[in-house]
Structures are given as C-alpha cells and as structure tokens.
C-alpha cells in the first residue's frame, strides 16, 4: 500500500459521487414544475424574499445562549471527576463560572439583553 | 501549583490584565484619556515581568511547554504590543471602544503566547483560533468605514478557510502517525505519501497566516481596510508569532521530512520575495505598500528558516526583534500623518520634511532599516538571515534574495524621496505630536540603531534554546 492507495482513494471518491449523480440523471424522468423550486414543498406558500435584514438582537441572544451552553458542556466532565479531585475541582469550577459570568455581565452592560 | 505559576506566568499575567480591563468596562467606565496611560503602564509592566522568574519545563502532559527561547519570543511580542499602545495613542483616544480594543488585542496576544508554547497539535489549533478571531474583530474597528468591515469579512473568511485546511492536515497527521503530541510525532515519520500530504496541508495553513505567496491574496485588502494600529498588529505581532511556531514545527516535529520541506521553503521564499517586491513597486497607498513589503519580508524570514540550524533560529528571532522596531516606527508615523492630515498616499507625503522634521527622520530611519541599509539594525538582521540560508550552500538562492533586497530599495526610498526631496506647494502643516507617540518613536529609533550595533544581543539569542 504505497502512494497508489491514496490516488485510488481519491479517484474512487470522485467516481462514486459522480456515478451516483449520473445514474440518477439517466434513470429518473425529470419533471419540472413551480412547486419544486419552493423552499418547502408543503405548507403555506412563502412570502417575500429570504434575504431580509434580521434584528441583531437574535444574534446576541444566540451568542449569550452559546456561553451557557458551552458552560454546561464543561460541567459534565467536571462532574465525573469532581469527587476524586476534591476541593480543588470546586475552586476551579468557581473560577470558570466567574470568567463566564464576567462575559455575561459585559453583555448585560452593553444592553444585549434589551429586546429591540 | 508553584510550577504552574512560574511556567505559565506570562499567560496568567495577560489573563489578569484582561480581567482588569473587563472590570473597568463593566464598572462605571473611565475616560479614554485617563485609562490609556494606565493601560500603557500595565503593558510595560507585562513586558518587564517577562524577563524575570522564567522557568523551563512542560505542563498538562506535554500540552504546554516553555523554555528560555520561548520566553524571549514572548517578550518580543509583549514589546510590540506595548509599542502599539504608545504609537497609536492619538487614534486610540478618539476611539469609542478603546477598552474593547485592548481586550481583543491582549486576548489575541494570549492566544499567541499559548500557541508558541503549545506542545500538541490540538493545543496549537485552539490557540491559533484564539489568536485569529479577536484580530478579525479588531480589523472592523473603524465602525463607520465600509472598507474596514470588508477587510474584517475577508479576514474571517480566509482564516476560516485556512483553519479548515489546517484541521484536515491535523487529522491526516493523526491518521498517519497515531499521535498529536509534538514530542511523539517525529519518531513515527518515515516520509510516506500520506505523511507528506498531511504536512503539505499543515504547511499551507501556516503559509496563509504568514501570507506567503501564493496564499497572500487576503493580506493587502485586510491591511488597507483596517485601522493602522490593527495593520501593525497583523503585520508584526501576528506574523512574528507564526514564524516562531513555524520554526518549532519544522525543526522539531517535522525534522525527519527535512529534505522535503527544504525544497518547499526555497521555492516559496523565492516566490514570496519576488511577488511581494514587484507588487510593492506599484503601490500608491502607504498601507498597501507596507502590506506588500511585509509579504516580502516574510520571504526573507523563510530564507533564514530554511537553514535548519541554531543559526536559523537565532537569525529569525533577531530579525523579528528588529522588524518590530522598524515596522512599528514606520506604521506609527503613517498613523500620525493619517490621523492628523488625512494623508495615506505616498504623494501626500511630499514635502513632509518642511514642517515635521522629527516625524520625517523617524520615518526615514525606519525605512532604511526595513530596506536593510547599514548601519541600521535591519542590515544586520538581513545579513544573518542570508548567512543562515547560505549554510546549505545554495548560493543561487541567496543571490536571488540579495537581488530582491536591491529591488526593495526602490520602493522604500521612493517614500523617503517624497518626504525629503519632492517639492510641494502645500506641504502638510505642523502635526502636533503627543508625548506618548514621541516616546514610542524614540524607543523604536533607539532600537533600530542599538540592536544592530550591540552585537551581544545576537550572541545572547544564540545561547537561548
């Protein structure tokens, strides 16, 4: 398995996806209608354009949500080792909370939590 | 615990600084004029503390390691950040979000510190992101200018792209060697095609961040669009840190693939020098000129790196120290002129000498150093880089580099000519120069002259390891 295997892999990857597309083109009988171009094929017809400006507040809320989301993700592995590490683990997680909380306070101070 | 405090000292100091700034911002807030001197003193303290209590060793199972050389490299970066706080004081005071600017800059610096200290590819990737994302936010700091937003957008997109390539390379490295630790990879390398492919991907990410040709296309637009303080940070601090970690990665981790990366470096260095210089010849905007000149300078750094010896390490670190002084002085003058007179084109500099003698001499000294004219330090920096590159005996390669130095003379001296010799009916009026800017320029000027003449500094860097 020298360099040839790598080249074979690349060719195989291209061929695999290419053949799949080709086969579907050949076998399927393509029909075109307006409904197919819709983002959702069922439900109420969409209104207006999709490229509209969204309020920046959505992004800010998403970011703040992410802060606590990541915090929770870190809490799980911490909880596993908390008992064996003892008080040091507790102090470290408090420092971690403190860091996250500072970021939250900053967002609050900047008015990121005020809607509109 | 004690070990943690000594080894991670510089990172911890920066973290404390970040928190102090956050407290200031969350609290009642301080006026920029009152806050800026405090920040300058804190950054100076950070620089001074970098010289003391340095330990050697590794932490977290080899994820983080430090040595006297790494501590010295960190000091160079701290010095550059301190100079930024001095030289761009005029712009910073006017800025509506000055504490945030320093928050972002120190966070990026923290990322760079962790990056040069990293001992594992994962740690390297994380800290690289920590050092890149804040800089993209900084590039957007001229909030009312569209060009600034455009620059930030281009930067975040291109760095996301290069991160993707880097991650692909890292995953290939893991597939080929079964480990991500810097200390364990070399033993697993045998030059198989998969490993070479992994290395090429990894190297392209470095090339992106260092803006090595052909990965340089983002650099000029980002440098032109962002505020000059950010241009200085990008072209000096960011590049220096990438060059330092590139040395570690090439000399330690990928040492067994040396015969492959030597050829790559030679080709890329020549392309970078030639393209950077040729494009710089045509620029009218001074920021774009410095963007292309910094691309060309990276080419010279690659010449030094290609030597793969202790002389190579020492010459690159020495050159970066000089480059900090020279580029900071040049960009500092450009910032003052742009801030007060609104001139960013070389034609606008015509007759600057008539009313602003100090600024003119500072700019001239910086440009001489960047071009590598003796007795400025830039000459010695380039001399050692070329000497290191010549160790392998590839004299045609060194000849190309030397010829490029002559080409670069043209566009550096074009600015000097505009300042001193070209007549202008309405030259720029007397620019009121603040004390901090003057201090910054004096430090840079002293650095440009003294670092070159004091040969002990180069010997000192050679003793570090």
CA distance B19 to chain A (A): 8
**Across B14-27, average pLDDT:** 87
Phi, psi of B180 (to 5 degrees): -115, -5
Is the link from the previous residue into B214 a cis peptide, with omega within 30 of 0?
yes
Partners of residue A3 in chain B, C-beta under 8 Å = 193
Contact B26 A105 (CB under 8 A): yes
Does residue B457 contact residue B317 with C-beta atoms inside 8 Å?
A: no
Please say if the pLDDT value at position A114 is more than 90: no
Which chain A residue lies closest to B196 (C-alpha atoms)? A3
Chain A residue nearest residue B97, CA to CA: A110
Mean pLDDT of B18-30: 83
B156-210 pLDDT, tens per residue? 999 999 999 999 999 999 988 889 999 888 888 888 888 888 999 999 999 999 9
Q: Is B100 or B28 the better-scoring residue by pLDDT? A: B100
Nearest Cα of chain A lies from the Cα of B236 at a distance, in angstroms, of 29
pLDDT per residue as tens digits for the range A53-86: 878 788 888 888 888 888 889 889 899 988 888 8
The answer, for A91 touching chain B at a CB cutoff of 8 Å, is no
Subunit contact A102:B193, Cβ cutoff 8 A: no
Tens-place pLDDT, residues B271-317: 999 999 999 988 888 888 999 999 999 999 999 998 888 888 999 99
Q: Alpha-carbon distance B211 to B276, whole Å?
A: 10
Candidates B21, B133, B194: best to mutate against A (most CBs of A within 10 A) is: B194
pLDDT score at A41: 66
Q: Cβ contacts (< 8 Å) between B129 and chain A: which residues?
A: none
Confidence at residue B14, expressed as pLDDT on a 0 to 100 scale: 92
CB contact under 8 A, B19 and A109: no
- Closest-CA distance, B340 to chain A, in angstroms, reads 31
Say if residue B319's pLDDT is above 70.
yes
Please give the radius of gyration of chain A, using alpha carbons only, rounded to the nearest integer: 26
Percent over 90 (pLDDT), chain B: 40
- Sort out which chain A residues have CB atoms less than 8 A from B194's CB and list them: 6
What's the N-to-C CA distance of chain A in angstroms? Answer: 61
Tens-digit pLDDT profile for residues B405-448: 999 999 899 889 988 888 777 777 888 888 888 999 999 999 99
- Does the distance separating the beta carbons of B193 and A3 come in below 8 Å? yes
Closest approach of chain B CAs to the CA of A26, in angstroms? Answer: 34
Question: Between these two residues, B420 and B3, which has the higher pLDDT value?
Answer: B420
> Quick check: B28 pLDDT over 80?
no
Q: What is the DSSP letter of A49?
A: -
Cβ within 8 Å, pair A106-B25? yes
Residue B218 makes CB contacts below 8 A (sequence gap 6+) with B154, B155, B158, B208, B211
Question: Distance (Å) from the C-alpha of residue A22 to the closest C-alpha of chain B?
Answer: 29
* Chain B partners within 8 Å of A109 (Cβ): 25-26
pLDDT in tens, B229-275: 999 999 999 999 999 999 989 998 888 888 888 988 999 999 999 99
Q: In terms of CA atoms, which chain B residue is nearest residue A4?
A: B193
- Give the pLDDT score at B52: 84
Contact A102 B19 (CB under 8 A): yes
B193–A6 CB contact, under 8 Å: yes
Q: Do A106 and B19 touch (CB under 8 A)?
A: no
As a whole number of angstroms, the distance between CA B353 and CA B357 comes to 5
Distance (Å) of CA B44 to CA A86, B86, B216, B433: 38, 10, 33, 21
- pLDDT-derived band at B80 (thresholds 50, 70, 90) equals very high
CB contact under 8 A, B194 and A6: yes
Chain A residue closest in CA terms to B1:
A88
For residue A50, pLDDT beyond 80: no
DSSP A110: T
- Look at residues B269, B298, B293 and name the one whose alpha carbon lies nearest to residue B283: B293
Test A6 with B19 for CB contact under 8 angstroms: no
Chain A CB contacts of B19 under 8 Å are 102
Mean pLDDT, rounded, of chain A: 84
pLDDT confidence of residue A16: 94
For residue B375, pLDDT beyond 80: yes
User: Would you list which residues of chain B are within 8 Å, Cβ to Cβ, of chain A?
Assistant: 19, 22, 25-26, 192-194, 197
CB contact under 8 A, B26 and A106: yes
Would you say the C-alpha torsion B149, B150, B152, B153 has a positive or negative sign?
positive
Please check whether residue A102 touches B, CB under 8 A. yes
Q: Does residue A2 belong to the interface with chain B, where contact is any CB pair within 8 Å?
A: yes
Q: Is it the case that residue B329 has pLDDT exceeding 90?
A: yes
d(CA B300, CA A33): 60
Dist. CA B38–CA B48, nearest whole Å: 15
- A29-68: b or e for each residue (b if 16 or more CB lie within 10 Å)? eeeeeeeeeeeeeeeeeeeeeeeeeeeeeeebeeebeeee
- Are A106 and B197 within 8 A, CB to CB? no
Q: Say what percent of chain B tops pLDDT 70.
A: 100
**Mean pLDDT across chain B:** 89
Q: What is the CA radius of gyration of chain B?
A: 21
* HEC sequence for chain B: CHHHHHHCHHHHHHHHHHHHHHHHHHCCCCCHHHHHHHHHHHHHHHHHHCCCCCCCEEEHHHCEEECHHHHHHHHHHHHHHHHHHHHCHHHHHHCCCHHHHHHHHHHHHHHHHHHHHECEHHHHHHHHHHHHHHHHHHHCCCCCCHHHHHHHHHHHHHHHHHHHHHHHHHHHHHHHHCCCECCCHHHHCCCCHHHHHHHHHHHHHHHHHHCCCCCCHHHHHHHHHCCHHHHHHHHHHHHHHHHHHHHHHHHHHCHHHHHHHHHHHHHHHHHHHHHHHHHHHCCCEHHHHHHHHHHHHHHHHHHHHCCCCHHHHHHHHHHHHHHHHHHHHHHHHHHHHHHHHCCCEHHHHCCHHHHCHHHHHHHHHHHHHHHCCCCCHHHHHHHHHHHHHHCCCCHHHHHHHHHHHHHHHHHHHHHHHHHHCCCCCCCCCCCCCCHHHHHHHHHHHHHHHHHHHCCHHHHHHHHCC
What is the average per-residue pLDDT within B102-108? Answer: 93
Euclidean distance between CA atoms B230 and B84, whole angstroms? 9
Residue B96 pLDDT exceeds 90: no
Kindly provide the b/e burial profile for residues A77-116, where b requires at least 16 CB atoms within 10 angstroms of the residue's own CB. eeeeebeeeeeeeeeebeeeeeeeebeeeebeeeebeeee
Q: Considering CB atoms only, which of A3, A6, A109 is closest to B26?
A: A109
């Amino acid at each position: 398995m020298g360099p040839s295997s790598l080249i074979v892999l690349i060719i195989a990857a291209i061929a695999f996806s290419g053949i799949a597309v080709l086969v579907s083109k050949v076998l399927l009988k393509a029909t075109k209608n307006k409904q197919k171009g819709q983002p959702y094929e069922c439900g109420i017809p969409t209104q207006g354009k999709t490229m509209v400006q969204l309020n920046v507040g959505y992004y800010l809320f998403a970011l703040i949500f992410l802060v606590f989301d990541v915090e929770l993700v870190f809490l799980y592995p911490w909880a596993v080792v908390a008992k064996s590490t003892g008080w040091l683990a507790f102090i470290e997680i408090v420092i971690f909370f403190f860091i996250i909380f500072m970021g939250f306070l900053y967002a609050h101070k900047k008015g990121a939590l005020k809607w509109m | 615990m004690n070990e943690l405090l000594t080894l991670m000292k510089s990172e911890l100091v920066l973290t404390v600084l970040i928190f102090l700034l956050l407290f200031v911002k969350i609290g009642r807030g301080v006026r920029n004029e009152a806050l800026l001197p405090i920040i300058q003193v804190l950054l100076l303290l950070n620089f001074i503390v970098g010289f003391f209590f340095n330990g050697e060793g590794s932490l977290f199972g080899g994820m983080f390691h430090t040595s006297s050389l790494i501590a010295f490299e960190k000091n160079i970066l701290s010095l550059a950040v301190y100079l930024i706080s001095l030289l761009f004081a005029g712009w910073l005071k006017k800025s509506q979000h000055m504490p945030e600017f320093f928050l972002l800059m120190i966070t990026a610096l923290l990322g760079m510190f962790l990056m040069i200290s990293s001992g594992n590819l994962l740690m390297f990737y994380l800290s690289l992101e920590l050092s890149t994302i804040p800089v993209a936010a900084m590039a957007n700091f001229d909030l009312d200018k569209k060009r600034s937003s455009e620059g930030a957008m281009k930067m975040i997109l291109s760095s996301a792209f290069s991160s993707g390539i880097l991650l692909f390379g890292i995953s290939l490295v893991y597939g080929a060697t079964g480990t991500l630790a810097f200390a364990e990879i070399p033993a697993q390398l045998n030059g198989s095609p998969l490993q070479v492919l992994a290395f090429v991907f990894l190297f392209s990410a470095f090339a992106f961040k260092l803006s090595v040709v052909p990965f340089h296309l983002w650099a000029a637009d980002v440098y032109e669009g962002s505020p000059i303080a950010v241009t200085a940070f990008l072209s000096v601090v960011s590049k220096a840190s990438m060059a330092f970690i590139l040395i570690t990665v090439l000399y330690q981790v990928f040492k067994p693939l040396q015969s492959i990366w030597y050829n790559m470096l030679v080709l890329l260095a020549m392309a970078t020098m030639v393209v950077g210089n040729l494009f710089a010849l045509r620029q009218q905007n001074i920021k774009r000129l410095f963007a292309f000149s910094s691309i060309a300078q990276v080419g010279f750094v690659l010449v030094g790196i290609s030597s793969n010896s202790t002389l190579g390490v020492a010459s690159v670190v020495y050159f970066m120290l000089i480059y900090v002084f020279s580029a900071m002085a040049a960009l500092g003058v450009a910032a003052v002129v742009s801030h007060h007179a609104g001139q960013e084109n070389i034609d606008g500099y015509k007759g600057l000498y008539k009313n602003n003698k100090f600024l003119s001499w500072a700019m001239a000294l910086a440009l001489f150093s960047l071009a590598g004219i003796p007795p400025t330090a830039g000459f010695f920096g380039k001399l050692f880089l070329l000497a290191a590159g010549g160790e392998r005996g590839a004299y045609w390669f060194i000849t190309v580099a030397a010829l490029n130095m002559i080409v670069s003379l043209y566009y550096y001296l074009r600015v000097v000519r505009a300042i001193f010799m070209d007549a202008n009916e309405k030259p720029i009026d007397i620019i009121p120069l603040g004390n901090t800017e003057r201090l910054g320029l004096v430090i840079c000027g002293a650095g440009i002259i003294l670092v070159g003449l004091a040969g002990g500094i180069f010997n000192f860097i050679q003793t570090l390891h």
